[in-house]
Structure 1
Amino acid sequence: MSDGNPCLDCGMCCVQFRVSFYWGEADDAPDGFVPVALTEKLDPYRRCMTGSNTVPRRCVALEGQPGEQVSCTIYDRRPTPCREFPSHEADGAPNPKCNELRAQIGLPALTPIVPVQAA
């Protein structure tokens, strides 16, 4: 695991899912933040990240090789679906879908995060 973040050696969600989101998240909208140049229009209300709408999928913002070392080139400006797909659930349990994707490329399953107990 890279720097304690399991996402930095995986990246499978970036090559498995269509990353679609409300058009207003793109930076051509008044309060948008996702770089519109990295998106494509799906319909009047939705966009998706370029590369994630065709098979084989690979989000244009993914840098590196899944299963080795990866990063998101727009991490601070990534769309809502990316922000809402955690490696671990709120209770510290691994996200089952994340573990399923990791298994496809031979990465070990994530283990639960033990909550830090206050002194």
Structure 2
Amino acid sequence: MDAYNPCLDCGICCTHFRISFYWGEGDDAPGGFVPAGMTEQLTPHLRCMKGSNELPRRCSALGGEVGKQVFCTIYENRPTPCREFPTHFEDGTPNPKCDELRAGIGLPPLPHLPMPHAA
């Protein structure tokens, strides 16, 4: 059974940040994986997800209703910033930015995660 993923009932980060990344992550570049049609060019070296560079922000890959039930339509091919934004840090402490954004849409703070004991 998979662990609970708080991102599946939140999604606020997908409506708060400009999701920018190196152009070579686009699937129109050798080895790229992010669907290029869902991106826009920012500079010669940077792209962002469509919808995340304008107000109100909403990443073009976000499906569902923020704060209720959401999903990423390109989860396996999402860009690096999405892969690297942690809900929790290595010590199990919740990311305070997540808690701040969650509070803004009426969601409770994230719990501390229990850390496995070293063997």
Provide the rounded CA distance (Å) in 1 between the counterparts of 2:77 and 2:87: 19
Provide the rounded CA distance (Å) in 2 between the counterparts of 1:118 and 1:82: 29
Amino acid at match of 1:80: T
- Which residue does 1:61 correspond to in 2? 61
Give the TM-score taking structure 2 as reference length.
0.95
Structure 1 stretches of at least 4 aligned residues deviating more than 6 Å after TM superposition: none
- Which residue does 1:79 correspond to in 2? 79
Provide the rounded CA distance (Å) in 1 between the counterparts of 2:53 and 2:118: 45
Provide the rounded CA distance (Å) in 1 between the counterparts of 2:73 and 2:55: 21
Deviation at residue 118 of structure 1 after TM alignment: 5.7
Q: How many residues align?
A: 117
- Which residue does 1:16 correspond to in 2? 16
SS at match of 2:64: strand
1:45-67: CA deviations, max 9, x gaps? 00000000000000000000110
CA-atom RMSD, angstroms? 1.1
SS at match of 1:48: strand
Which residues of structure 2 form unaligned runs of 5+? none
Give the TM-score taking structure 1 as reference length.
0.95
- Which residue does 1:97 correspond to in 2? 97
Find out whether 1:33 has 2:17 as its counterpart: no
